[in-house]
């Protein structure tokens, strides 16, 4: 069962400048940073609030590390802006399978590792009214994620 909006992914050309905009304009601070080589992105997670299920809601700012990454291609075609929405779930495997059973294409056969050690998969935007949709099961809570560059 989907429990919350985990994050909104925003593609940007310059991560540092975009982080500064959100910090200066809204007061959001960076909770976590990392480079995901597999996905070809450098990212910053800005925590917005805690949620009743023990998770949190974030803005995920994404800067491509290479032009041929999914985010790099998306930026080249669309420019900066909202890239995807992610819903939190306690069971990404089960929810992905249930959604697949309703005729929605799930982009990964098996969930992959996402931000902060989470398990993720994506749903095809053509099956979700034009919205790239991510399902996320958060990793078990650990010590401090603040600006931990991986």
Q: What is the DSSP string of the chain?
A: -EEEEEEEEEE-S-HHHHHHHHHHHH---EEEEEEETTTTEEEEEEEEEE-TTS-EEEEEEEEESSTTSHHHHHHHHH-SEEEEEEEEES-HHHHHHHHHTTTPPBS-SS-EE-GGG-EEEEE-GGGTTT--EEEEEPPPP-S--TT---
Asked about 39 being catalytic, the answer comes back as no
- Catalytic site residue from 32, 34, 39, 43: 43
- Catalytic site residue from 32, 34, 83, 84: 84
- Catalytic site residue from 34, 83, 134, 145: 134
Per residue in 23-49, is it b (16+ CB within 10 Å) or e — as a string?
eeeeebebbbbbebeebbbbbbbbbbe
Asked about 124 being catalytic, the answer comes back as no
Asked about 145 being catalytic, the answer comes back as no
- Catalytic site residue from 34, 60, 63, 83: 60
- Catalytic site residue from 7, 32, 83, 145: 7
Asked about 140 being catalytic, the answer comes back as no
Active site residues: 7, 43, 60, 84, 134
């Amino acid at each position: 069962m989907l429990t919350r909006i985990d994050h909104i992914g925003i593609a940007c050309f310059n991560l540092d400048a975009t982080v500064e905009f959100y910090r200066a304009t809204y007061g959001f601070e960076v909770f976590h940073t990392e480079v995901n080589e597999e996905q070809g992105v450098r990212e910053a997670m800005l925590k917005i609030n805690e949620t009743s299920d023990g998770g949190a809601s974030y803005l995920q700012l994404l800067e491509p590390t290479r032009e041929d990454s999914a985010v790099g291609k998306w930026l080249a075609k669309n420019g900066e802006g909202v890239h995807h929405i992610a819903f939190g779930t306690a069971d990404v495997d089960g929810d992905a399978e249930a959604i697949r059973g309703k005729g929605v294409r799930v982009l990964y056969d098996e969930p992959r590792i996402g931000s902060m050690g989470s398990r993720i998969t994506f749903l095809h935007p053509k099956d979700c009214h034009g919205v790239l949709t991510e399902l996320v099961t958060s990793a078990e809570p650990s010590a401090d994620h603040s600006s931990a560059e991986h």
